Chains A and B, each alone.
Chain A
Protein backbone atom coordinates (compact mmCIF):
# COMPACT_ATOMS: atom_id res chain seq x y z
CA UNK A 1 0.00 0.00 0.00
CA UNK A 2 1.25 3.49 -0.84
CA UNK A 3 2.37 5.23 2.29
CA UNK A 4 2.28 8.87 3.29
CA UNK A 5 3.49 10.59 6.44
CA UNK A 6 1.74 13.77 7.54
CA UNK A 7 3.78 16.16 9.65
CA UNK A 8 1.90 17.13 12.81
CA UNK A 9 3.28 20.37 14.17
CA UNK A 10 0.41 21.42 16.35
CA UNK A 11 -1.59 23.67 14.05
CA UNK A 12 -4.01 23.28 11.23
CA UNK A 13 -6.64 20.78 10.28
CA UNK A 14 -4.65 17.63 9.70
CA UNK A 15 -7.57 15.24 9.63
CA UNK A 16 -9.05 16.59 6.41
CA UNK A 17 -5.76 15.98 4.63
CA UNK A 18 -5.51 12.56 6.22
CA UNK A 19 -9.02 11.63 5.11
CA UNK A 20 -8.33 12.83 1.56
CA UNK A 21 -5.16 10.76 1.32
CA UNK A 22 -6.92 7.71 2.74
CA UNK A 23 -9.75 8.18 0.26
CA UNK A 24 -7.27 7.73 -2.60
CA UNK A 25 -5.84 4.63 -1.03
CA UNK A 26 -2.89 5.80 1.03
CA UNK A 27 -1.82 4.30 4.30
CA UNK A 28 -1.33 7.42 6.39
CA UNK A 29 0.76 8.04 9.45
CA UNK A 30 0.53 11.33 11.36
CA UNK A 31 3.68 12.14 13.26
CA UNK A 32 5.94 14.67 14.90
CA UNK A 33 8.74 12.18 15.25
CA UNK A 34 11.87 13.32 13.36
CA UNK A 35 12.98 9.75 12.62
CA UNK A 36 9.65 8.84 11.08
CA UNK A 37 9.80 11.98 8.98
CA UNK A 38 13.34 11.40 7.73
CA UNK A 39 12.54 7.84 6.68
CA UNK A 40 9.09 8.47 5.14
CA UNK A 41 8.17 7.31 1.65
CA UNK A 42 6.27 10.51 0.98
CA UNK A 43 5.88 13.52 3.21
CA UNK A 44 2.97 15.91 3.51
CA UNK A 45 3.26 19.27 5.25
CA UNK A 46 -0.28 20.59 5.77
CA UNK A 47 -1.23 23.78 7.53
CA UNK A 48 -3.75 26.46 8.19
CA UNK A 49 -2.76 29.38 10.34
CA UNK A 50 -0.02 31.93 10.78
CA UNK A 51 3.44 31.45 9.22
CA UNK A 52 5.30 32.32 12.42
CA UNK A 53 3.29 29.80 14.47
CA UNK A 54 3.88 27.15 11.83
CA UNK A 55 7.65 27.62 11.71
CA UNK A 56 7.81 27.77 15.50
CA UNK A 57 5.90 24.50 15.68
CA UNK A 58 8.40 22.84 13.34
CA UNK A 59 11.37 24.29 15.25
CA UNK A 60 10.19 23.35 18.71
CA UNK A 61 9.61 19.74 17.84
CA UNK A 62 13.02 19.50 16.17
CA UNK A 63 11.54 18.45 12.83
CA UNK A 64 13.32 20.86 10.50
CA UNK A 65 16.59 18.88 10.16
CA UNK A 66 14.52 15.74 9.58
CA UNK A 67 12.54 17.40 6.82
CA UNK A 68 15.77 18.59 5.18
CA UNK A 69 17.21 15.10 5.45
CA UNK A 70 14.07 13.71 3.81
CA UNK A 71 14.25 16.21 0.94
CA UNK A 72 17.88 15.20 0.34
CA UNK A 73 16.73 11.64 -0.41
CA UNK A 74 14.82 12.86 -3.48
CA UNK A 75 11.52 11.47 -2.23
CA UNK A 76 8.48 13.71 -2.69
CA UNK A 77 7.39 16.38 -0.21
CA UNK A 78 4.00 18.02 -0.64
CA UNK A 79 3.21 21.28 1.16
CA UNK A 80 -0.40 22.44 1.30
CA UNK A 81 -1.53 26.04 1.91
CA UNK A 82 0.62 27.32 4.80
CA UNK A 83 2.66 24.16 4.28
CA UNK A 84 3.45 25.35 0.76
CA UNK A 85 4.32 28.85 1.93
CA UNK A 86 6.79 27.47 4.48
CA UNK A 87 8.73 25.82 1.62
CA UNK A 88 9.93 29.30 0.59
CA UNK A 89 12.73 31.44 2.04
CA UNK A 90 10.73 33.86 4.11
CA UNK A 91 7.39 35.45 4.88
CA UNK A 92 6.31 38.96 5.73
CA UNK A 93 3.24 37.75 7.66
CA UNK A 94 3.25 39.63 11.02
CA UNK A 95 6.93 40.58 10.74
CA UNK A 96 9.68 38.91 8.74
CA UNK A 97 10.14 35.19 9.36
CA UNK A 98 12.46 32.62 7.80
CA UNK A 99 10.96 29.62 6.02
CA UNK A 100 12.38 26.23 5.10
CA UNK A 101 13.99 27.61 1.94
CA UNK A 102 13.53 24.61 -0.36
CA UNK A 103 12.15 26.80 -3.16
CA UNK A 104 13.49 30.34 -3.70
CA UNK A 105 10.83 32.93 -3.03
CA UNK A 106 8.92 34.76 -0.37
CA UNK A 107 5.45 35.08 1.05
CA UNK A 108 3.71 38.44 0.75
CA UNK A 109 0.34 39.85 1.70
CA UNK A 110 -2.25 39.77 -1.07
CA UNK A 111 -2.69 43.47 -1.95
CA UNK A 112 -6.23 44.54 -1.04
CA UNK A 113 -6.20 47.52 -3.39
CA UNK A 114 -6.93 47.14 -7.08
CA UNK A 115 -5.01 50.04 -8.64
CA UNK A 116 -6.49 53.02 -6.82
CA UNK A 117 -10.10 52.23 -7.35
CA UNK A 118 -11.40 48.89 -6.12
CA UNK A 119 -11.01 46.68 -3.09
CA UNK A 120 -9.77 43.12 -3.37
CA UNK A 121 -11.46 41.09 -0.65
CA UNK A 122 -9.09 39.37 1.78
CA UNK A 123 -8.91 36.46 2.52
CA UNK A 124 -8.96 35.05 -0.99
CA UNK A 125 -11.58 32.44 -0.31
CA UNK A 126 -13.40 30.27 -2.81
CA UNK A 127 -12.97 28.34 -6.02
CA UNK A 128 -10.55 29.58 -8.68
CA UNK A 129 -9.47 28.10 -12.02
CA UNK A 130 -5.88 26.99 -12.57
CA UNK A 131 -3.89 28.36 -15.49
CA UNK A 132 -0.26 28.44 -16.55
CA UNK A 133 1.90 30.24 -19.07
CA UNK A 134 2.92 27.35 -21.27
CA UNK A 135 -0.15 25.17 -21.70
CA UNK A 136 -1.48 21.82 -20.63
CA UNK A 137 1.67 19.83 -21.40
CA UNK A 138 3.57 21.68 -18.68
CA UNK A 139 1.64 19.55 -16.18
CA UNK A 140 2.60 16.19 -17.70
CA UNK A 141 4.43 14.08 -15.14
CA UNK A 142 3.59 16.51 -12.32
CA UNK A 143 0.95 16.12 -9.59
CA UNK A 144 -1.32 18.12 -11.92
CA UNK A 145 -1.05 15.52 -14.70
CA UNK A 146 -4.75 14.56 -14.40
CA UNK A 147 -5.92 18.19 -14.18
CA UNK A 148 -7.04 20.33 -17.11
CA UNK A 149 -6.39 24.01 -17.55
CA UNK A 150 -9.46 25.76 -16.18
CA UNK A 151 -10.32 23.19 -13.49
CA UNK A 152 -11.36 24.84 -10.21
CA UNK A 153 -9.79 24.42 -6.79
CA UNK A 154 -10.62 25.70 -3.33
CA UNK A 155 -8.44 28.48 -1.91
CA UNK A 156 -8.43 30.06 1.55
CA UNK A 157 -5.55 32.41 2.23
CA UNK A 158 -4.53 36.00 2.89
CA UNK A 159 -0.85 35.73 1.95
CA UNK A 160 0.62 34.49 -1.31
CA UNK A 161 3.83 32.96 -2.60
CA UNK A 162 6.02 35.15 -4.79
CA UNK A 163 8.40 32.64 -6.33
CA UNK A 164 11.77 33.83 -7.59
CA UNK A 165 12.16 31.55 -10.60
CA UNK A 166 9.28 31.30 -13.04
CA UNK A 167 10.23 27.74 -13.83
CA UNK A 168 9.29 26.67 -10.30
CA UNK A 169 5.67 27.80 -10.81
CA UNK A 170 3.35 25.03 -12.01
CA UNK A 171 0.07 26.92 -11.88
CA UNK A 172 -1.47 30.27 -11.11
CA UNK A 173 -4.95 31.58 -10.69
CA UNK A 174 -6.32 35.05 -11.23
CA UNK A 175 -7.83 37.13 -8.48
CA UNK A 176 -9.22 40.51 -9.53
CA UNK A 177 -6.40 41.19 -11.97
CA UNK A 178 -3.71 39.67 -9.75
CA UNK A 179 -1.87 36.47 -10.66
CA UNK A 180 -1.73 34.31 -7.55
CA UNK A 181 0.72 31.41 -7.29
CA UNK A 182 -1.35 28.24 -7.01
CA UNK A 183 1.13 25.37 -7.39
CA UNK A 184 4.92 25.19 -7.29
CA UNK A 185 7.52 22.51 -7.77
CA UNK A 186 11.28 22.34 -7.61
CA UNK A 187 12.54 18.82 -8.16
CA UNK A 188 10.97 16.66 -5.45
CA UNK A 189 9.48 19.54 -3.45
CA UNK A 190 5.88 20.37 -4.38
CA UNK A 191 3.54 23.02 -3.00
CA UNK A 192 -0.16 23.71 -3.45
CA UNK A 193 -1.70 26.96 -2.25
CA UNK A 194 -5.22 25.56 -2.61
CA UNK A 195 -6.66 22.67 -0.61
CA UNK A 196 -6.78 19.46 -2.67
CA UNK A 197 -8.53 17.76 0.25
CA UNK A 198 -11.37 20.28 -0.06
CA UNK A 199 -11.52 20.58 -3.85
CA UNK A 200 -13.87 17.72 -4.63
CA UNK A 201 -13.01 15.06 -7.20
CA UNK A 202 -10.36 17.20 -8.90
CA UNK A 203 -8.55 17.68 -5.62
CA UNK A 204 -8.62 13.95 -4.99
CA UNK A 205 -7.07 13.40 -8.45
CA UNK A 206 -4.07 15.43 -7.33
CA UNK A 207 -3.72 13.50 -4.09
CA UNK A 208 -4.10 10.29 -6.08
CA UNK A 209 -1.29 11.30 -8.43
CA UNK A 210 0.94 12.24 -5.50
CA UNK A 211 0.30 8.92 -3.75
CA UNK A 212 0.50 6.58 -6.71
CA UNK A 213 2.83 8.25 -9.21
CA UNK A 214 5.48 9.84 -7.01
Chain B
Protein backbone atom coordinates (compact mmCIF):
# COMPACT_ATOMS: atom_id res chain seq x y z
CA UNK B 1 0.00 0.00 0.00
CA UNK B 2 1.09 3.50 -0.67
CA UNK B 3 -0.41 6.36 -2.54
CA UNK B 4 -3.28 5.54 -4.84
CA UNK B 5 -2.70 6.45 -8.48
CA UNK B 6 -5.04 9.29 -9.30
CA UNK B 7 -7.59 9.81 -12.05
CA UNK B 8 -8.23 13.46 -12.84
CA UNK B 9 -11.00 14.57 -15.20
CA UNK B 10 -10.21 17.90 -16.85
CA UNK B 11 -12.89 20.45 -17.70
CA UNK B 12 -12.35 23.29 -20.14
CA UNK B 13 -14.18 26.36 -18.91
CA UNK B 14 -14.98 29.36 -21.10
CA UNK B 15 -16.72 32.34 -19.56
CA UNK B 16 -17.83 30.23 -16.63
CA UNK B 17 -19.30 27.41 -18.71
CA UNK B 18 -17.96 23.92 -19.39
CA UNK B 19 -17.16 23.64 -23.09
CA UNK B 20 -15.97 20.87 -25.40
CA UNK B 21 -19.27 19.15 -24.80
CA UNK B 22 -19.77 17.08 -21.75
CA UNK B 23 -22.35 14.55 -22.85
CA UNK B 24 -23.89 12.90 -19.83
CA UNK B 25 -27.38 11.85 -20.79
CA UNK B 26 -28.82 12.29 -17.34
CA UNK B 27 -27.34 15.59 -16.33
CA UNK B 28 -29.52 18.65 -16.08
CA UNK B 29 -27.04 21.21 -17.37
CA UNK B 30 -23.88 19.81 -18.91
CA UNK B 31 -22.47 23.32 -19.19
CA UNK B 32 -22.64 23.94 -15.47
CA UNK B 33 -19.23 23.33 -13.90
CA UNK B 34 -20.82 22.55 -10.53
CA UNK B 35 -23.11 19.85 -11.96
CA UNK B 36 -20.30 18.25 -13.93
CA UNK B 37 -17.82 18.40 -11.06
CA UNK B 38 -20.35 16.85 -8.70
CA UNK B 39 -20.93 14.01 -11.13
CA UNK B 40 -17.21 13.27 -11.38
CA UNK B 41 -16.86 13.45 -7.62
CA UNK B 42 -19.66 10.89 -7.24
CA UNK B 43 -17.95 8.65 -9.79
CA UNK B 44 -14.79 8.64 -7.72
CA UNK B 45 -12.58 11.26 -9.37
CA UNK B 46 -9.54 11.87 -7.20
CA UNK B 47 -9.22 15.52 -8.20
CA UNK B 48 -10.76 17.81 -10.76
CA UNK B 49 -8.81 20.18 -12.98
CA UNK B 50 -10.35 23.26 -14.53
CA UNK B 51 -8.64 24.78 -17.52
CA UNK B 52 -9.83 28.35 -18.03
CA UNK B 53 -9.79 29.09 -21.74
CA UNK B 54 -11.64 32.40 -21.45
CA UNK B 55 -10.06 34.57 -24.13
CA UNK B 56 -11.13 37.99 -22.95
CA UNK B 57 -9.29 39.27 -19.92
CA UNK B 58 -12.49 41.17 -18.98
CA UNK B 59 -14.13 37.86 -18.17
CA UNK B 60 -11.29 36.29 -16.19
CA UNK B 61 -13.19 36.67 -12.94
CA UNK B 62 -15.77 34.15 -14.11
CA UNK B 63 -13.40 31.31 -13.25
CA UNK B 64 -13.08 32.61 -9.69
CA UNK B 65 -16.84 32.30 -9.25
CA UNK B 66 -16.77 28.84 -10.79
CA UNK B 67 -14.14 27.70 -8.28
CA UNK B 68 -16.08 29.22 -5.39
CA UNK B 69 -19.27 27.45 -6.38
CA UNK B 70 -17.63 24.11 -7.00
CA UNK B 71 -15.63 24.25 -3.77
CA UNK B 72 -18.85 24.75 -1.85
CA UNK B 73 -20.20 21.43 -3.09
CA UNK B 74 -17.33 19.22 -4.12
CA UNK B 75 -14.92 18.19 -1.39
CA UNK B 76 -11.95 16.85 -3.32
CA UNK B 77 -8.83 18.71 -4.49
CA UNK B 78 -9.39 21.26 -7.24
CA UNK B 79 -6.74 22.55 -9.63
CA UNK B 80 -7.15 25.61 -11.81
CA UNK B 81 -4.98 26.38 -14.81
CA UNK B 82 -5.13 28.86 -17.64
CA UNK B 83 -4.21 32.51 -17.38
CA UNK B 84 -2.27 32.22 -14.12
CA UNK B 85 0.36 34.94 -14.49
CA UNK B 86 0.86 36.68 -11.16
CA UNK B 87 1.09 35.95 -7.46
CA UNK B 88 -2.24 37.75 -7.14
CA UNK B 89 -3.84 35.39 -9.66
CA UNK B 90 -2.72 32.48 -7.49
CA UNK B 91 -3.94 34.06 -4.28
CA UNK B 92 -7.36 34.68 -5.79
CA UNK B 93 -7.70 31.08 -6.93
CA UNK B 94 -6.58 29.63 -3.60
CA UNK B 95 -8.89 31.96 -1.70
CA UNK B 96 -11.76 30.93 -3.95
CA UNK B 97 -11.19 27.30 -2.97
CA UNK B 98 -8.63 25.92 -5.41
CA UNK B 99 -6.00 23.67 -3.87
CA UNK B 100 -3.49 24.01 -6.65
CA UNK B 101 -2.87 26.21 -9.64
CA UNK B 102 -1.38 25.22 -12.97
CA UNK B 103 1.26 27.55 -14.41
CA UNK B 104 2.15 27.17 -18.05
CA UNK B 105 3.02 30.06 -20.37
CA UNK B 106 3.95 32.40 -17.53
CA UNK B 107 6.67 29.96 -16.46
CA UNK B 108 8.12 29.90 -19.96
CA UNK B 109 8.14 33.70 -20.11
CA UNK B 110 9.62 34.09 -16.66
CA UNK B 111 10.77 30.96 -14.79
CA UNK B 112 11.37 33.00 -11.62
CA UNK B 113 7.60 33.27 -11.28
CA UNK B 114 7.49 29.60 -10.32
CA UNK B 115 10.07 30.15 -7.61
CA UNK B 116 8.22 33.16 -6.24
CA UNK B 117 4.92 31.27 -6.27
CA UNK B 118 6.38 28.23 -4.51
CA UNK B 119 8.03 30.37 -1.84
CA UNK B 120 4.84 32.29 -1.23
CA UNK B 121 2.29 29.47 -1.22
CA UNK B 122 4.31 26.25 -0.93
CA UNK B 123 5.31 23.79 -3.63
CA UNK B 124 2.30 21.61 -2.84
CA UNK B 125 -0.03 24.00 -4.64
CA UNK B 126 2.17 24.81 -7.64
CA UNK B 127 1.67 22.59 -10.68
CA UNK B 128 3.78 23.44 -13.70
CA UNK B 129 2.09 22.46 -16.95
CA UNK B 130 4.39 21.35 -19.72
CA UNK B 131 3.20 21.07 -23.32
CA UNK B 132 5.78 19.02 -25.19
CA UNK B 133 6.14 17.94 -28.79
CA UNK B 134 8.55 15.45 -30.29
CA UNK B 135 11.11 17.24 -32.46
CA UNK B 136 13.54 14.41 -33.25
CA UNK B 137 13.53 12.79 -36.66
CA UNK B 138 13.00 9.15 -37.49
CA UNK B 139 15.81 7.02 -36.11
CA UNK B 140 17.27 9.83 -33.98
CA UNK B 141 17.30 9.67 -30.20
CA UNK B 142 13.96 10.96 -28.88
CA UNK B 143 13.85 14.65 -28.10
CA UNK B 144 10.91 16.79 -27.04
CA UNK B 145 10.53 20.56 -27.05
CA UNK B 146 8.30 22.85 -25.00
CA UNK B 147 5.58 24.49 -27.04
CA UNK B 148 3.16 27.27 -26.13
CA UNK B 149 0.00 28.63 -27.72
CA UNK B 150 -1.67 25.25 -28.00
CA UNK B 151 1.34 23.63 -29.62
CA UNK B 152 1.83 26.26 -32.30
CA UNK B 153 4.82 28.09 -30.93
CA UNK B 154 8.13 26.40 -30.23
CA UNK B 155 10.38 27.71 -27.46
CA UNK B 156 13.63 25.87 -28.12
CA UNK B 157 13.46 24.49 -24.57
CA UNK B 158 14.19 20.80 -24.11
CA UNK B 159 11.26 19.22 -22.27
CA UNK B 160 13.32 17.06 -19.91
CA UNK B 161 15.72 19.84 -18.98
CA UNK B 162 12.76 22.17 -18.51
CA UNK B 163 10.96 19.74 -16.18
CA UNK B 164 14.09 19.36 -14.05
CA UNK B 165 14.50 23.14 -13.90
CA UNK B 166 10.87 23.71 -12.93
CA UNK B 167 11.18 21.24 -10.05
CA UNK B 168 14.34 22.99 -8.89
CA UNK B 169 12.37 26.24 -8.96
CA UNK B 170 9.70 24.73 -6.72
CA UNK B 171 7.09 22.98 -8.84
CA UNK B 172 5.29 20.46 -6.64
CA UNK B 173 3.87 18.53 -9.58
CA UNK B 174 4.31 18.39 -13.33
CA UNK B 175 1.28 18.19 -15.60
CA UNK B 176 2.73 16.77 -18.79
CA UNK B 177 0.77 17.03 -22.01
CA UNK B 178 1.93 15.52 -25.27
CA UNK B 179 0.92 17.94 -27.99
CA UNK B 180 1.44 15.16 -30.53
CA UNK B 181 -1.17 13.01 -28.84
CA UNK B 182 -3.60 15.59 -27.47
CA UNK B 183 -7.02 15.00 -29.02
CA UNK B 184 -5.89 11.92 -31.00
CA UNK B 185 -7.23 9.17 -28.70
CA UNK B 186 -4.10 7.17 -29.57
CA UNK B 187 -2.90 6.95 -25.96
CA UNK B 188 -0.26 8.84 -23.99
CA UNK B 189 3.21 9.41 -25.41
CA UNK B 190 4.71 6.72 -23.18
CA UNK B 191 8.34 7.46 -24.09
CA UNK B 192 7.88 11.13 -23.17
CA UNK B 193 6.02 10.33 -19.96
CA UNK B 194 8.54 7.85 -18.67
CA UNK B 195 11.46 10.10 -19.65
CA UNK B 196 10.01 12.95 -17.57
CA UNK B 197 9.07 10.66 -14.67
CA UNK B 198 12.62 9.30 -14.56
CA UNK B 199 14.04 12.83 -14.58
CA UNK B 200 12.12 14.42 -11.70
CA UNK B 201 11.25 13.40 -8.14
CA UNK B 202 7.85 15.10 -7.90
CA UNK B 203 4.56 13.54 -9.03
CA UNK B 204 3.90 13.62 -12.76
CA UNK B 205 0.38 13.78 -14.22
CA UNK B 206 0.19 12.31 -17.71
CA UNK B 207 -2.11 14.00 -20.20
CA UNK B 208 -2.96 13.99 -23.87
CA UNK B 209 -4.30 11.20 -26.04
CA UNK B 210 -6.43 8.95 -23.85
CA UNK B 211 -8.86 6.96 -25.97
CA UNK B 212 -9.54 3.87 -23.88
CA UNK B 213 -9.09 2.46 -20.41
CA UNK B 214 -5.91 0.59 -21.25
CA UNK B 215 -4.32 3.91 -22.17
CA UNK B 216 -4.92 5.13 -18.62
CA UNK B 217 -3.34 2.01 -17.15
CA UNK B 218 -0.42 2.22 -19.61
CA UNK B 219 0.28 5.79 -18.48
CA UNK B 220 0.81 4.49 -14.95
CA UNK B 221 2.50 1.16 -15.65
CA UNK B 222 4.60 1.96 -18.71
CA UNK B 223 4.77 5.73 -18.41
CA UNK B 224 5.39 5.56 -14.62
CA UNK B 225 3.06 8.50 -14.05
CA UNK B 226 1.53 9.15 -10.63
CA UNK B 227 -1.77 10.38 -12.03
CA UNK B 228 -3.61 10.40 -15.33
CA UNK B 229 -5.65 13.26 -16.68
CA UNK B 230 -8.32 12.81 -19.31
CA UNK B 231 -11.22 14.72 -20.75
CA UNK B 232 -13.18 13.33 -23.66
CA UNK B 233 -13.16 9.69 -22.55
CA UNK B 234 -15.19 10.76 -19.52
CA UNK B 235 -17.08 13.71 -20.97
CA UNK B 236 -18.61 11.74 -23.82
CA UNK B 237 -19.84 9.07 -21.46
CA UNK B 238 -17.62 6.35 -22.98
CA UNK B 239 -16.58 5.40 -19.48
CA UNK B 240 -17.15 6.53 -15.94
CA UNK B 241 -14.29 7.26 -13.59
CA UNK B 242 -15.44 4.22 -11.62
CA UNK B 243 -15.03 1.97 -14.65
CA UNK B 244 -11.60 3.42 -15.25
CA UNK B 245 -10.58 2.66 -11.67
CA UNK B 246 -11.92 -0.87 -11.83
CA UNK B 247 -9.91 -1.45 -14.99
CA UNK B 248 -6.75 0.02 -13.52
CA UNK B 249 -7.19 -2.12 -10.41
CA UNK B 250 -7.56 -5.21 -12.63
CA UNK B 251 -4.14 -4.39 -14.04
CA UNK B 252 -2.66 -4.29 -10.58
CA UNK B 253 -2.68 -0.53 -9.99
CA UNK B 254 -3.58 0.77 -6.53
CA UNK B 255 -6.54 3.11 -6.85
CA UNK B 256 -8.73 4.79 -4.26
CA UNK B 257 -11.76 2.65 -3.75
CA UNK B 258 -15.00 4.38 -2.88
CA UNK B 259 -16.12 1.51 -0.67
CA UNK B 260 -13.77 -0.13 1.77
CA UNK B 261 -12.81 -3.75 1.33
CA UNK B 262 -14.44 -6.16 3.77
CA UNK B 263 -12.47 -6.77 6.94
CA UNK B 264 -10.09 -9.68 6.61
Contacts and interface: CB of A to CB of B under 8 A. Distances in A.
A201 B71 CA distance: 14
A32 B122 CA distance: 23
A148 B260 CA distance: 6
Contacts of A112: 201
A150 B260 contact: yes
B263 to A, nearest CB: 6
A48 interface: yes
B1 interface: yes
A15 B72 CA distance: 9
Given A129-B1, A152-B256, A19 B76 contact: no
Given A121-B201, A152-B4, A176-B2, A20 B75 contact: yes
A42 B263 CA distance: 32
Contact of B1 (A121, A154, A174, A198): A174
Nearest to B204: A121
Nearest to B46: A127
Contact of B75 (A148, A150, A203): A203
B222 interface: no
A154 B173 CA distance: 16
A126 B172 CA distance: 12
A123 B71 contact: no
A119 B201 contact: yes
B212 interface: no
Given A121-B203, A127-B256, A13 B75 contact: no
A112 B201 CA distance: 10
Contact of A48 (B73, B122, B202): B122
Interface residues on A, range: 35 or more
A122 B201 CA distance: 8
B23 interface: no
Contacts, number: 94
B28 interface: no
A197 interface: yes
A198 B4 contact: no
Interface string B57-79: 00000000000000111011100
B71 A19 contact: yes
Given A20-B75, A150-B260, A15 B97 contact: yes
Contacts of A197: 75
Interface in A182-208: 197-201, 203-204
B126 to A, nearest CB: 11
Top-8 shortest CB links A-B: A148-B260, A126-B3, A152-B256, A127-B4, A127-B256, A150-B260, A174-B1, A156-B124
28 contacts: A13-B97, A15-B71, A16-B97, A19-B75, A23-B75, A121-B202, A121-B203, A123-B123, A126-B4, A128-B3, A128-B4, A131-B1, A149-B260, A152-B256, A154-B77, A158-B124, A173-B1, A174-B2, A175-B2, A175-B3, A197-B75, A198-B77, A198-B99, A200-B41, A200-B76, A201-B258, A203-B75, A204-B75
Interface of A: 13, 15-16, 19-20, 23, 48-49, 112, 119, 121-129, 131, 135-136, 148-152, 154, 156-158, 173-176, 197-201, 203-204
Given A126-B46, A127-B6, 10 more contacts: A122-B201, A123-B172, A124-B3, A125-B124, A125-B172, A127-B46, A128-B2, A128-B4, A156-B99, A200-B76
